[in-house]
Amino acid sequence: MLFQIVVFICAVGVASASVVVSAPLARVDPLPQYSYGYDVQDSLTGDYKGHQEHRNGDLVTGSYSVVDPDGTRRIVDYAADSINGFNAVVRREPLVAAARVLAPAPVLAPAPAPLVAPAPAPYLAPSPYYPRAPLVAPAPVLPAPAVARAPLFAPAPAPVFAPRLTNPYYW
């Protein structure tokens, strides 16, 4: 009896494996095309990056850039297709242009500063939103008075030992 059950289960397995269920075919675009890009400029966190990409059929081209911690911008230009595969070119650019020095500057003695009276304080118009503070002339700066200082260390007077006459047992 056990042999008949095993044969029946195997026959059901072979019969169910031969049934083909056709899955719906996915629609494939023969010529896919898209284009996208983004750019991040966050001065608060120092995050500067960007990316753009274009696709026309099997040809994908694009580039992205990111600011590295060493102060250079890394730019990657890439292209990918079914014949050549993925190819990328990486280049670096400094964020601050280097100053070009053609000849050393001569060393000169510093010129004396001209004697110029200080500029008057600018006049600020009264604000309609805040009450105007009264104008008060600053107090003149006077030199500190000379004060005689006490010495840091003075010897204490020597103690005086005198017999106490009120104590009868002292004698």
Q: Domain of residue 90: give its range.
A: 44-94
CATH number for 66: 2.20.130
The predicted model scores a pTM of: 0.42
Structural domain includes residue 69:
yes
Q: How confident is the model at residue 164 (pLDDT cuts 50, 70, 90)?
A: low
Structural domain includes residue 113:
no
Structural domain includes residue 102:
no
Structural domain includes residue 48:
yes
Please tell me the total count of domains within the chain: 1
Structural domain includes residue 71:
yes
Distance CA 169, CA 171 (A): 6
Q: Quick one: tokens of 66? A: 């990111």
Q: Per residue in 30-70, pLDDT tens?
A: 888 999 999 999 888 888 899 999 999 889 999 999 998 88
Q: Per residue in 97-113, pLDDT tens?
A: 544 545 566 666 666 66
Q: Find all residues with CB under 8 Å of 66, minimum gap 6, and list them.
A: 48, 49, 73, 74
Q: Per residue in 114-138, pLDDT tens?
A: 666 666 766 666 656 655 555 566 6
Structural domain includes residue 6:
no
- Sheet strands (E) in the chain: 33-42, 47-56, 59-67, 72-81, 85-94
Strands 72-81 and 47-56: unpaired
